[in-house]
């Protein structure tokens, strides 16, 4: 699904076939989760293939590497140029791009100078599908920001996401919704969360969540369209009295939520602010309305 024998990836300065990408079984990322990554999308726009907010994604990769003491030798601009080349080599137009910075052989709990940079790309439809989601309020909480850098995309953080999604699916739901360490609504396992109440949008403030690039785009679109959006801490009880809700993320894009636990949102998705933003988001990414490329 992600690759075949012809797939080319970028690895440490070269474009190689997947089978020519050796990974040591002693690599620190695999043992202790110390590695950082990104999730980016490229779209086939009328102006050609465009990576949406490449700069922001590669800035976040740099931030993630920095806080984890990983020396990332490529600049944001280089990484963007490499990604365009990679898409071209694989003849990909609408694609998901996965940069992964992983470490070399090191079984101690200190960083290492052996830093590997891989970038992969593949065609990936909507990560959470197209239908409205049924969420489960997770029994897991997002990691405490005092235990890690929550705004960094660190490989090891995703065990929390896997636990939450697995629990939700085991209980017959599509996906999970997690609280932060104080019990306020935080985000999904791989997407940020917005609710709508009385014509206004509400989302968690930065601090205990991943600073989603799609979340930022939603804030921008919402502002342009004149919607009131509040970034504040809110409880699960507020979700259970909301009119509508949606998730947003690079992989998920903007996707409506039907229910959380037994609570079904009363507003029809088509009548919600989320639906308006979803349409605008689609246009923005697919028609290259947003320009922030170096090339
Ligand atoms: N929260 C988490 C935990 C995520 O993994 C993601 C996906 N990167 C998001 C939110 C959404 O972030 P973005 O819009 O930057 O993809």
Nearest to 49 by CA among 80, 12, 10: 80
Checking if the pLDDT of 225 tops 50, the result is yes
Give the pTM: 0.96
Of 176, 189, 192, 252, best ligand 1 pocket probe by most atoms within 8 Å of the beta carbon: 192
Give catalytic status of residue 153 as yes or no.
yes
Q: Which of the residues 153, 197, 232, 282 is marked catalytic?
A: 153
Q: What pLDDT band is residue 94 in, cutting at 50, 70 and 90?
A: very high
CA 81, 87, 90, 95 torsion: positive or negative? positive
E strand or H helix that includes residue 167? helix 158-170
Of 93, 1, 117, 115, whose CA–CA distance to 42 is shortest?
93
What is the rounded distance in angstroms from the CA atom of residue 52 to the CA atom of residue 13? Answer: 23
In this structure, what are the phi and psi dihedrals at residue 86, rounded to the nearest 5 degrees?
-60, -40
Q: What pLDDT does 224 receive?
A: 96
Determine the 3-state secondary structure of 201 from DSSP.
Answer: strand
- Res 288: pLDDT: 63
State the Cα–Cα distance between residues 60 and 38, nearest whole angstrom.
8
Give the pLDDT band of residue 126 (cuts 50, 70, 90): confident
Q: Crossing angle for the helix pair 54-67 and 213-224, nearest 10 degrees?
A: 140
SS3 of residue 57 by DSSP: helix
Residues with Cβ within 6 A of ligand 1?
Answer: 39, 187, 190-192, 210, 212-215, 249-250
pLDDT band at 215 (very low <50, low <70, confident <90, very high): very high
- Tell how far the Cα of 49 is from the centroid of ligand 1, in angstroms: 22
Q: Which domains does the chain have, with CATH numbers?
A: 8-122 (3.30.470.10), 133-286 (3.20.10.10)
pLDDT, residue 294, reads: 37
Q: How confident is the model at residue 287 (pLDDT cuts 50, 70, 90)?
A: confident
Does 292 score more than 70 pLDDT? no
Residues 57-92: pLDDT tens digits?
999 999 999 999 999 999 999 999 999 999 999 999
103 and 83 Cβ atoms separated by less than 8 Å: no
> What pLDDT sits at residue 125?
80
Distance from the CA of 268 to the center of ligand 1, in angstroms?
Answer: 25
Q: Phi then psi for 100, rounded to 5 degrees?
A: -135, 125
Instruction: Round the CA-based radius of gyration of the chain to a whole number and report it.
Output: 19
Closest CA to 157 of 96, 243, 67, 260: 67
Average pLDDT over residues 149-162: 98
Digit-coded pLDDT (tens) for 250-279 = 999 999 999 999 999 999 999 999 999 999
Q: Do 248 and 191 meet the contact criterion of CB atoms below 8 Å apart?
A: yes
């Amino acid at each position: 699904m992600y690759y075949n024998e012809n797939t080319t990836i970028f690895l440490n300065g070269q474009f190689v076939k997947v089978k020519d990408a050796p990974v040591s079984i002693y690599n620190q990322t695999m043992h202790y989760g110390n590695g950082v990554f990104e999730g980016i999308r490229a779209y086939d726009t009328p102006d050609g293939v465009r990576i949406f907010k490449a700069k922001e994604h590669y800035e976040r990769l740099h931030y993630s590497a920095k806080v984890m003491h990983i020396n990332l030798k490529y600049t944001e601009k280089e990484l963007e140029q490499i990604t365009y080349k990679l898409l071209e080599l694989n003849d990909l137009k609408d694609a998901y791009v996965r940069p992964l910075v992983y470490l070399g052989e090191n079984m101690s709990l200190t960083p290492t100078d052996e830093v590997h940079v891989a970038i992969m790309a593949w065609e990936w439809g909507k990560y959470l599908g197209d239908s409205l989601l049924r969420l489960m309020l997770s029994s897991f909480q997002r990691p405490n920001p005092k235990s890690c850098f929550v705004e960094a995309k660190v490989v090891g953080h995703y065990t929390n996401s896997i636990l939450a999604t697995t629990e939700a699916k085991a209980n017959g739901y599509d996906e999970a919704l997690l609280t932060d360490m104080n019990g306020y609504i935080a985000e999904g396992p791989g997407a940020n969360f917005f609710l709508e109440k009385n014509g206004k949008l509400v989302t968690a403030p930065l601090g205990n969540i991943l600073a989603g690039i799609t979340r930022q785009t939603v804030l921008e679109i919402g502002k342009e369209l004149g919607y009131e959006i509040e970034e504040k801490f809110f409880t699960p009880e507020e979700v259970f009295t909301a009119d509508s809700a949606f998730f947003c993320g690079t992989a998920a894009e903007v996707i409506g939520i039907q229910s959380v636990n037994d609570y079904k949102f009363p507003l029809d998705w088509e009548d919600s602010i989320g639906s308006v933003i979803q349409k605008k988001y689609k246009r923005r990414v697919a028609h290259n309305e947003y320009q922030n490329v170096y090339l």
